[in-house]
Amino acid sequence: MELTRTVAPMIDLSRQEDGTNSTETFAKVVAEGLSQEPKSLPSRYFYDAAGSKLFQDIMALPEYYLTRCEFKVLTENRQEMAKQFAENSFFHLIDLGAGDAMKTKILLRELNEQKSAFDYVPVDISGDAMRQLNDSLQQEMPSVDVQAVVGEYFPALEWLQENKSERKVVLFLGSNIGNFKADESKHFLQRICSNLSPGDKLLMGIDLRKDPDTILSAYNDASGVTAEFNLNLLRRINSELGGNFDIDQFRHYPIYNPHEGVMRSFLVSKKDQDVYIRDTGQTFHFDAWEAIHTENSHKYSLQQVSELGKACGFSVETVFQDDACGFADVLFTVG
Ligand code: AVJ
């Protein structure tokens, strides 16, 4: 006889989302961004199926040190992290933007070995990713309780705060906080904090300031994968909104500002051209060498990280970092 674990049905909050995945919202956001002076498009739209695949490829690039560094930080500190999460009482491990949970599995394996009392709550907007993760965890770690949530971060956190009274440990890995502007990251962390209780924890991955050449190379790889990732945003507009961007007439241009600690990516128009986007009903003009700003990736100092946390209701419990790599996973406590 075969023993199979009953997998809890996934909690689907995807209809309560902010509309990121609806075509109308996408069209509206694109029309707004391309009408602005200077032009911009939000980086959260990078991740359609092709974009998610390209991001997987980015994480394997020799230049993209972030993923390997965080992997190292988590691997080297997994015992201490697991101990600090567990505190000898049950907790929900909530993984914001879990994806394939490659890095989280380091911690799950350790928690499992330490026989910690917890359940794992991966949160992701991709239902496919959550189904695959459910399956792979059932194979690899059948004794871990998994309660996947399909949805946006805040509906998920609000749902959890209303429905689960136990202690919570939130993971926000991968330096995803870097995509937010300073005021946005503050707002984001405050909102996380307001959906937690005193004593709850947050482990956040942060790419630290380092040699500008190292940073720039990570977003300007020799094989051109990051360029494809950036240009894919125009491909997505073409396929989902009926745009007629000539992809070859735009180029990827990243630049790092060491004063602000901000890596910025642009798509630059190689010529004077018009682009019609059916679902916006508009034509957008590009002067020769006019740019669309598509992404910010902030790099922080540890001082800034701790001040940011404090301003949002968190205090730093432990900084786990790899000095050579310049990447930190900071464990915060609410209160
Ligand atoms: C997923 C936001 C952490 O900013 O480093 C990678 C996305 N953009 N290469 C980052 C990204 C270009 C990435 N984050």
312 within domain boundaries: yes
E-strand spans in 22-75?
39-40
Q: Determine whether the shortest distance from the Cβ of 217 to ligand 1 is under 6 A.
A: no
> What confidence tier does 22 reach under pLDDT thresholds 50, 70, 90?
confident
Residues 104 and 190 in one domain: yes
Ligand 1 midpoint to CA 85 (Å)? 27
Query: How far apart are alpha carbons 293 and 302 in whole angstroms?
Result: 27
Local confidence band at 10 (pLDDT 50, 70, 90 cut-offs) = confident
In this structure, are 172 and 306 located in the same domain?
A: yes
Q: Tokens in use for 325?
A: 């790599």
Whose alpha carbon is nearest atom 14 of ligand 1?
176
Checking if the pLDDT of 311 tops 60, the result is yes
Alpha-carbon distance 232 to 53, whole Å? 11
69 in the same domain as 178: yes
Model confidence at 19, pLDDT cuts 50, 70, 90, reads low
Residue 13 lies inside a defined structural domain of this protein = no
User: Residue 150 is part of which domain span?
Assistant: 64-211+299-334
Residue 125 has pLDDT above 60, yes or no: yes
- Give pLDDT tens digits for 295-304: 999 999 999 9
Q: Which atom of ligand 1 approaches the CA of 174 most closely? A: 3
Residue nearest to atom 13 of ligand 1 (CA): 176
The yes-or-no verdict on residue 160 having pLDDT over 60 is yes
- Digit-coded pLDDT (tens) for 173-221: 999 999 999 899 999 999 999 999 999 999 999 999 999 999 999 999 9
How does DSSP classify residue 167? Answer: E
Q: For residue 114, report the distance from its CA to the centre of ligand 1, in Å.
A: 32
Q: Please state, for a pLDDT cut of 70, what percent of the chain lies above it.
A: 95
SS3 call for 181: coil
Cα distance between residue 202 and residue 59, in whole Å: 23
Q: Whose CA is nearest to atom 3 of ligand 1?
A: 176
Please say if the pLDDT value at position 270 is more than 70: yes
Reported as a single tens digit per residue, the pLDDT across 80-111 is 999 999 998 999 999 999 999 999 999 999 99
Tell which residue, 169, 214, 149, has the closest CA to residue 12.
Answer: 149
Q: Are residues 150 and 91 in the same domain?
A: yes
Please count the residues of the chain.
Answer: 335
Verify that 128 and 244 share a domain, yes or no.
no
Q: Has residue 326 got a pLDDT over 50?
A: yes
Ligand 1 centroid – CA 19 distance (Å): 22
Do 171 and 231 lie in one domain? The reply is no
Say if residue 145 is in the same domain as residue 290: no
Ligand 1 close to Cβ of residue 269 (< 6 A)? no
Question: CB of 176 closer than 6 A to ligand 1?
Answer: yes
For ligand 1, whether the C-beta of 178 sits within 6 Å is yes
Residues 6+ apart with CB under 8 A from 252: 220, 224, 226, 227, 230, 231, 265, 266, 267, 268
Verify that 242 and 133 share a domain, yes or no.
no
220 Cα to the center of ligand 1, angstroms: 12
State which of 55, 103, 215 you would mutate to test the pocket of ligand 1, scoring each by most atoms of that ligand within 8 A of its C-beta: 55
| Whole-number average pLDDT of the chain | 94
The residue ranges of DSSP E strands in 270-312, in sequence order, are 273-277, 282-286, 291-298
DSSP summary character for residue 179: G
pLDDT of residue 1: 44
Inside any domain, residue 82: yes
pLDDT at residue 304, rounded to an integer: 97
Q: Where is average pLDDT lowest: 13-27, 42-56, 180-194?
A: 13-27
Q: For 247-266, what is each residue's pLDDT tens digit?
A: 999 999 999 999 999 999 99
Q: Whose CA is nearest to atom 4 of ligand 1?
A: 297
15 domain residue, yes or no:
no
Q: How far apart, in whole angstroms, are the C-alpha atoms of residue 34 and residue 101? A: 34
Q: Measured between alpha carbons, how far is 235 from 242 in angstroms, rounded to an integer?
A: 10
Whether 74 and 163 map to the same domain: the answer is yes
pLDDT at 130 over 80: yes
Q: Which residue has the higher pLDDT, 2 or 266?
A: 266
Give the alpha-carbon dihedral of 312, 79, 84, 159, to 10 degrees: 60
141 vs 128: CA distance, rounded Å? 19
52 part of a folded domain? yes
Choose the weakest-confidence range: 2-6, 75-79, 294-298: 2-6
Confidence grade of residue 21 (pLDDT, cut at 50, 70, 90): low
- 219 CB within 6 A, ligand 1: yes
- Flag whether 194 is in a domain: yes
Over 70: is that where the pLDDT of 20 sits? Answer: no
Q: What is the mean pLDDT of residues 129-158?
A: 94
pLDDT of residue 4: 46
- 175 close to ligand 1 (CB < 6 Angstrom): yes
Which of 265, 295, 325 maximizes ligand 1 atoms within 8 Å of its Cβ, making it the mutation to test the pocket?
A: 295
Q: Are residue 235 and residue 290 in the same domain, yes or no?
A: yes
- The mean per-residue pLDDT over the stretch 154-179 comes to 94
Would you say 156 and 272 are in contact if contact means Cβ atoms under 8 Å apart? no
| Cα of 116 from ligand 1 centre, angstroms | 32
- The Å distance, Cα 297 to ligand 1 centre, comes to 7
Task: Specify whether 148 is located in the same domain as 187.
Answer: yes
Give Cα separations from 242 to 5, 43, 113, 234, 247 (angstroms). 45, 19, 51, 11, 14
Residue 14 lies inside a defined structural domain of this protein: no
Instruction: Check whether residue 142 and residue 81 sit in a common domain.
Output: yes
Neighbour-count burial of 15, counting CB atoms closer than 10 A to its CB (0-12 exposed, 13-18 middle, 19+ buried): exposed
Q: Residue with the nearest Cα to atom 1 of ligand 1?
A: 176
Rounded distance from Cα 128 to ligand 1 centre (Å):
21
Is 320 contained in some domain?
yes
Task: Say how many domains are in the chain.
Answer: 2
Domain containing residue 140: CATH number? 3.40.50.150
Among the ranges given (122-126, 194-198, 329-333), the one the predictor scored with the smallest mean pLDDT: 122-126
Residue 66 CB–ligand 1 contact under 6 Å: yes
Q: What percent of the chain has pLDDT over 90?
A: 89
pLDDT exceeds 60 at position 3: no
Closest C-alpha to ligand 1, atom 2:
176
